[in-house]
Amino acid sequence: MKPLDKNRIYLDHNATTEPRFSAKKAVKKALNYWGNPSSIHQDASKAKNLLWSARQNLSHFLNCHPLEIIFTSGASESNNYAIKGLFQVQNKTRNELIISSVEHPSVLYTADFLSQKGFKVHKIPVSKQGFLDEAFFEKHLSEKTLLVSIMSANNETGVIFPIEKWVKKIHEKGALFHSDMVQFLGKRKVDLKKLEIDLASFSAHKCYSLQGCGILYCKKGIMLESLIHGGPQERQRRAGTENLTGIVAFGSVAKEGDIILKKTQKLKSLRDNMEKYILSHLKKVEIIGHKALRLDNTSCLCISGIHGETLLMNLDLKGISVSVGSACGSGKLKSSSVLTAMGFTQKEAFSSIRISLGIETTKEQIEYFQKALVESVNRLRNLE
């Protein structure tokens, strides 16, 4: 496959990010140490050392113990593992799960799966402004709750949920807390110790590293039933020969965690200025979640009178990549489950696009993009 065209403007960083130079360099190095980390000869020990030093870098970045990290194939697996793994450990008195209604499908569908198996699932409503219904949460959190799973930041709207506020209440009821921290990593400081969270999911490719590699953070002492049975890797918690290149690349990016966080600081003013420009040049545009605390890189726009997919294709032809929340299943377009769960109509959900900036996004790119967007929307609206 050809590398992404450098002349294009990539504004879809919540979908995936370009691996940093250090990640690419680490891959080359790891390819030279291709021994199986589980073997016991010298060729293996080099691979094992690389694996361990990546684990240490990541544990430093996340502020947890290296052995609290379980490497997975990505956050979809981590989310499945955290939730199913916990509910499979017998607990006769606790059989309820609480999630937010705007979770990633890897949490939502896992919850549906458990509900089909007879567990009770409560989905916390989220308002149109992006706020979780705290009264609902308090009402349903009880001695029957085994797990609460709430994402740290939403992938479509960028809205940040104040999870630190809830940890204490969850623990007071004797329940555990999992958070899908995929979109948070690299955009805000993650401090697992300080958060006192029990389980957390991360994905390397959302943080300038490779696809196919993730982490499940599992606090010391928490028992989960394995999702993948087999070999003794990851201290018998996740069978399968490790994805050494992916893990080593993730570890090298973690070493640059502070640089990444510093670079993300510039995104807020870029994003805010872009939104100001769009609002002053286009009528009937709503910035979803603008009253809530949001990730600095994300802007989710509902643009009345246009179809998000058509706009996406128009922008694509102009060399710009953005995304829409809708998904195509069996030839039929489905609107964003996040936006409809927040109370937007199907029509409104189909009229939205997501713009997500990355650490290499420049002012010039944003200026080009915002003009292209206004031009395309005006043209599409005139065709109506």
Q: Which residues are catalytic?
A: 328
Task: Single out the residue of 317, 249, 312 nearest to residue 17, CA to CA.
Answer: 249
How many residues bind to ligand PLP according to rule CB under 6 A? 12
Does 180 contact ligand PLP by CB under 6 A?
A: yes
Does 106 contact ligand PLP by CB under 6 A?
A: yes
Q: Which stretch binds ligand PLP (CB under 6 A): 120-128, 177-185, 286-294, 323-331?
A: 177-185
CB of 180 to ligand PLP, least distance (A): 5
DSSP per-residue codes, 51-99: HHHHHHHHHHHHTS-GGGEEEES-HHHHHHHHHHHHHTS--SS--EEEE
Closest to ligand PLP by CB, 151 vs 278, is 151
Does 182 contact ligand PLP by CB under 6 A?
A: yes
Q: Which stretch binds ligand PLP (CB under 6 A): 170-178, 180-188, 269-277, 329-337?
A: 180-188
The interface mask with ligand PLP, positions 210-249, x = CB under 6 A, is ----x-----------------------------------
What is d(CA 309, CA 155) in angstroms, rounded to the nearest whole number? 18
Nearest residue to ligand PLP on Cβ basis: 74
CB of 314 to ligand PLP, least distance (A): 24
CB of 76 to ligand PLP, least distance (A): 3
Closest to ligand PLP by CB, 183 vs 337, is 183
Among 57, 80, 155, 233, binds ligand PLP (CB under 6 A): 155
Does 308 contact ligand PLP by CB under 6 A?
A: no
- Per the CB < 8 A criterion, the answer to whether 300 and 130 are in contact is no
Does 13 contact ligand PLP by CB under 6 A?
A: no
- Per the CB < 8 A criterion, the answer to whether 116 and 85 are in contact is no
DSSP per-residue codes, 192-207: HHHHT-SEEEEEGGGT
Among 13, 48, 55, 104, binds ligand PLP (CB under 6 A): 104
Beta-sheet pairing, 120-124 with 96-100: parallel
SS3 353: strand
Does 297 contact ligand PLP by CB under 6 A?
A: no
Q: Which stretch binds ligand PLP (CB under 6 A): 43-51, 175-183, 227-235, 367-375?
A: 175-183
Closest to ligand PLP by CB, 182 vs 303, is 182
Which residues does 339 contact at the CB level (< 8 Å), separation at least 6? 156, 157, 288, 300, 302, 325, 348, 349, 352
- Per the CB < 8 A criterion, the answer to whether 35 and 46 are in contact is yes
Closest to ligand PLP by CB, 76 vs 337, is 76
Beta-sheet pairing, 145-149 with 96-100: parallel
Does 187 contact ligand PLP by CB under 6 A?
A: no
Both tokens assigned to 262: 């510093």
CB of 296 to ligand PLP, least distance (A): 16
- Per the CB < 8 A criterion, the answer to whether 88 and 225 are in contact is yes
Q: Within 13 Å of residue 252, how many CA atoms lie on the same side as its CB?
A: 21
* CA dihedral sign, ordered 36, 52, 15, 277: negative
Does 163 contact ligand PLP by CB under 6 A?
A: no
What is d(CA 46, CA 55) in angstroms, rounded to the nearest whole number? 14
Q: Which of residues 67-86 bind ligand PLP (CB under 6 A)?
A: 74-76
Does 183 contact ligand PLP by CB under 6 A?
A: yes
Closest to ligand PLP by CB, 247 vs 377, is 247
Closest to ligand PLP by CB, 22 vs 203, is 203
One-letter amino acid identity for 332?
K
CB of 16 to ligand PLP, least distance (A): 8
What is d(CA 168, CA 173) in angstroms, rounded to the nearest whole number? 9
DSSP per-residue codes, 139-192: HH-STTEEEEE--SB-TTT-BBP-THHHHHHHHHTT-EEEEE-TTTBTTB---H
Q: Where does this chain bind ligand PLP (CB under 6 A)?
A: 74-76, 104, 106, 151, 155, 180, 182-183, 203, 214
